[in-house]
Amino acid sequence: MKKHDRHYSTFESNKDFYAQEISDAVIKHRTVGRIQAGMMHSMQQAGDWSNNPMPDLVLLQHKGASYRARANVGLGVYEGEHYAGNFVVIPPDVSTEIEVYDPHEVLLLAIPYQALKAFFYDSNMLPEDGFFGAVHYGSRTDYHTTNIMDRLWQHVAEDSPYSTLYADQLIIHLIMRLLFLKGDTPVLFKGGLSFANLKRVVDIMHNELSDDFGLERLAKEVELSTWYFIRAFKYSTGMTPYEYFTWLRINKAKLLLEDRMLSITDVARLVGYKSTQALARVFIRHVGCNPRHYRQSHLK
């Protein structure tokens, strides 16, 4: 696959960049809410994805297989592995330096920041320059943020007179979550796991989705008691370790269900469930439909 090369042109928005320069990478795109935010699901090549400043606040959620990248989106250079469910926040009007070493799948939300400030119920709560502090460093893990993005992508696809109103509410909810995360530091979560320890246990979870969940082993990896590990993990991610592990399994199952070559029995086994019935019970609780219906709706 040919590598992507950096584009030095200046664009008025991320929507224009994707539409004019890399439209072949976009699987689907949608316009979201009254502020006309752009959402795109894309499969992108390895290469230099650096860009000139654009006026959007961008949230980039990693989907699919993990990939390696080196980036600076406003708060210093970081390098590492990016996993499904992690996300990056790029402030408006900042030049980015992004080198991605592998093909990658992303869900992108580009919010016109000046339109957001005019729309937001209390613009004084928002950073004047769109800079949300430590959240711009590294690839973050926060279930609440990625869940809002997934719901936003899902519901704007529905042909409903309430879709725009619901999208507006979700965007406000998302911004409130970023304001909450604004005070976080990538080095130490007060009352939670250190950044290094959180990455260590999340890496283990990602690599062992087909195995039994071992809470005591994860606690031992970071030299904590099981009780304190559960508490610290939930403080850092918003979920208990078991909830997070289940969320990873279901997101992996959703990806695998889009592969026609795999049976639902295969999918269940690959994400650690002993039967299709066991997978279906958890899948319905998290997604709202069974795996077979999910597959049918995504293979049309």
- Is-contact 58 14, C-beta < 8 A? yes
Band (2; pLDDT cuts 50, 70, 90):
very low
Band (114; pLDDT cuts 50, 70, 90):
very high
From residue 145, give the alpha-carbon distance in Å to each of 62, 67, 80, 87, 238: 12, 20, 21, 8, 10
Band (200; pLDDT cuts 50, 70, 90):
confident
Confirm whether 7 is domain-assigned.
no
Confirm whether 258 is domain-assigned.
yes
Query: What mean pLDDT, rounded, does the chain reach?
Result: 82
pLDDT at 167 over 90: no
37 and 136 in a common domain = yes
169 and 207 in a common domain = no
The model carries a pTM of 0.63
168 and 20 in a common domain = yes
Confirm whether 237 is domain-assigned.
yes
Give mean pLDDT, residues 214-230. 90
**Strand order across the 67-72 sheet:** 47-48, 97-100, 67-72, 78-82
Q: Which residues contact 161 (CB under 8 A, 6 or more apart)?
A: none
177 and 87 in a common domain = yes
pLDDT in tens, 19-29: 666 778 888 88
What is the CATH number for 270? 1.10.10.60
What region does 74 belong to: left with phi over 0, alpha with psi -120 to 50, or beta?
left
Give mean pLDDT, residues 148-176. 80
165 and 39 in a common domain = yes
Domain of 227? Answer: 195-298
Rounded CA Rg of the chain = 19
From residue 252, give the alpha-carbon distance in Å to each of 112, 154, 214, 240, 247: 31, 17, 19, 18, 9
Confirm whether 186 is domain-assigned.
no
Element counts in the chain: helices (H) and strands (E): 11, 9
Of 8-12, 92-96, 118-122, give the lowest mean pLDDT range: 8-12
Q: What is the pLDDT of residue 185?
A: 40
Give mean pLDDT, residues 231-253. 83
141 CB-side CA count, 13 A:
31
Burial of 32 (0-12, 13-18, 19+ CB in 10 A): buried
What six digits make up the tokens of 148? Answer: 């809002």
* Number of structural domains found in the chain: 2
From residue 147, give the alpha-carbon distance in Å to each of 144, 198, 287: 5, 19, 11
